Amino acid sequence: MVLKIRKHGDPVLRMQALPVKKINEEIQALAKNMLDTMYAADGIGLAANQVGIPVRIVVIDVGEGPITLFNPRIVNHGEDKAVLREGCLSVPGLTGEVERWKKITVEGMTQNGVGCEKLEAEGLLARALQHEIDHLDGVLFLDKAKNIEEEEEDEE
């Protein structure tokens, strides 16, 4: 089911998301609906508070298949950073240059709620994870961006 994506100015986007205590059918359904929503919006990542539910869930697909993480947190990062242009499904029409770590390690609960999964990421996946984890902390890319510009509309 495709959910409504909350837009910049909605207070839920500034909320500190709460930890997922137990991965039950309801939480798994939310994660599946978040993936459906992300794909329908042609995005590469989505955090639960972007669909109005302030819990610590992110979904990402940078072209290598979907990743769902519950209670994700960055536990390590490399030394190098890169500045690239980003956009956001909750801030349509704007992009900005954001500095982020090139390599990170993220820890999060697995889909079945057993144990912790460590994910080493670099490039676009590392950037997407940092962007979505920021959402869970109430941080929008606009808070970190420089050279914010309006996107040009694609003519089809």
- On whether residue 69 sits in a domain, the answer given is yes
- On whether residue 6 sits in a domain, the answer given is no
- On whether residue 37 sits in a domain, the answer given is yes
Domain count along the chain: 1
Helix, strand, or coil (residue 14):
helix
Alpha carbon 108 to its chain centroid, in Å, reads 13
42-57 per-position pLDDT tens digit = 999 999 999 999 999 9
105-138 per-position pLDDT tens digit = 999 987 766 667 889 999 999 999 999 999 999 9
- On whether residue 5 sits in a domain, the answer given is no
Which amino acid, one-letter code, is at 42? Answer: D
CATH number at residue 59: 3.90.45.10
Range from 74-88, 98-112, 120-134, 141-155 carrying the lowest mean pLDDT: 141-155
- On whether residue 97 sits in a domain, the answer given is yes
- On whether residue 155 sits in a domain, the answer given is no
* Per annotation, catalytic residue among 26, 79, 132, 155: 132
Helix, strand, or coil (residue 84):
strand
Q: Which domain holds residue 132?
A: 11-150
- On whether residue 2 sits in a domain, the answer given is no
pTM listed for this prediction = 0.93
Residue 133 carries which DSSP code?
H
Is 117 in the active site?
A: no
146-150 and 94-101 strand pairing: antiparallel
Residue 114 carries which DSSP code?
-
